[in-house]
Amino acid sequence: MSTEHFFHDYFGTVTEKLNDIDPELLEQAATMVRRAQGTGNKVILAGNGGSAAMASHVAVDLTKAAGIRAVNFNEADLLTCLANDYGYENWVAKALEFYADPGDLVVLISSSGRSQNMVNGAEQASAMGLAVISFSGFSPDNPLRRLGDLNLWAASDSYNIVEMTHHVWLLAIVDFLIETDG
């Protein structure tokens, strides 16, 4: 395959996946973010690997650009302490137990939807009565996709395609919040 064909096909696939969502779902996510802000609460984002980097980026943009208080759990000391003491599969659940307040919104990002720490985090958030938005991909019946109040799914088995789709969807929500401001 030529370079030109690879990139053309790749960008076509990304475009297809980006558009493969009902915009109403993105608006529902924005409404959930606004609801948390309106009650004086925060948005908590978490992910692994590229999804963790995405969580950091979106938390900063929500706070700085959209004026919505948001945090993420990417501090090495927090992660390693909780993973060491409670097991890697439980660190998100424990972080939520320690840092989440009633009325907070939890956004969990997992390309596969099978990351046990994200699944356990969703279960903990639900047990605490927190609203959950999940971002996942791969199998349509992945465990994380069944646990959120709103579940946004990218129909792909490619990590990079799923992560790029999630990232653009998340930043589109931020931009929507900025543009509609209220």
Q: Are strands 70-72 and 131-137 parallel, antiparallel or unpaired?
A: unpaired
pTM of the model as a whole: 0.96
Helix axes 76-86, 91-99, angle to 10 degrees: 110
Average pLDDT over residues 82-106: 98
- CB distance 108 to 148 below 8 Å: yes
Could you tell me which residue, 37 or 4, shows the higher pLDDT?
Answer: 37
- Band (pLDDT 50/70/90 cuts) for residue 182 is low
Q: Give the pLDDT confidence of 115-169 residue by residue, as tens digits.
A: 999 999 999 999 999 999 999 999 999 999 999 999 999 999 999 999 999 999 9
Predicted local confidence at residue 105, as pLDDT: 98
Quote the DSSP letter at residue 30: H
Strand (E) or helix (H) holding 110: strand 105-110
Q: Give the pLDDT confidence of 52-66 residue by residue, as tens digits.
A: 999 999 999 999 999
Q: What are phi and psi of 2, to 5 degrees?
A: -75, 160
Average pLDDT over residues 97-101: 98
Domains and CATH numbers, the chain: 3-180 (3.40.50.10490)
Quote the DSSP letter at residue 179: H
